Amino acid sequence: MKKIRVTTNELRVIKGFKNQVEANGVMNLLRSTGNAVEVGKKKPEGRGKPSIIYEIPQTITIKMFKDSDFPTEVKIEAETEEA
């Protein structure tokens, strides 16, 4: 499996996210699932906080739910009014 090393800002540029908040959300999801691992820090030009460099797989498939999370058959029973 090929892996790439990127900062959150680089991920934003590569994937075309609208803003840094979207990129942070994706990176947090990848970190929580164990797909992104912190491998270092990148010094900023001039002043500022260093950026974290993450190693992530080039291809990621996320399965949000297990099949067992959804019932295979749903029964709806309607009550009738008797006059």
Number of domains, the chain: 1
Asked if the structure places residue 31 within a domain, the reply is yes
Asked if the structure places residue 76 within a domain, the reply is no
Q: Residue 60 — very low, low, confident or very high, per pLDDT cuts 50/70/90?
A: confident
User: Model pTM?
Assistant: 0.71
Q: Give the strands of the sheet with 37-42, arranged side by side.
A: 3-6, 51-57, 37-42
Q: Which residue has the higher pLDDT, 36 or 75?
A: 36
CATH of the domain at 53: 1.10.10
Q: Decide if pLDDT at 20 tops 70.
A: yes
Q: Which residue has the higher pLDDT, 67 or 53?
A: 53
Asked if the structure places residue 9 within a domain, the reply is yes
Range of the domain at 9: 3-68
Rounded percentage of the chain residues whose pLDDT exceeds 70: 83
Q: What average pLDDT score do residues 62-68 get?
A: 73
Asked if the structure places residue 35 within a domain, the reply is yes
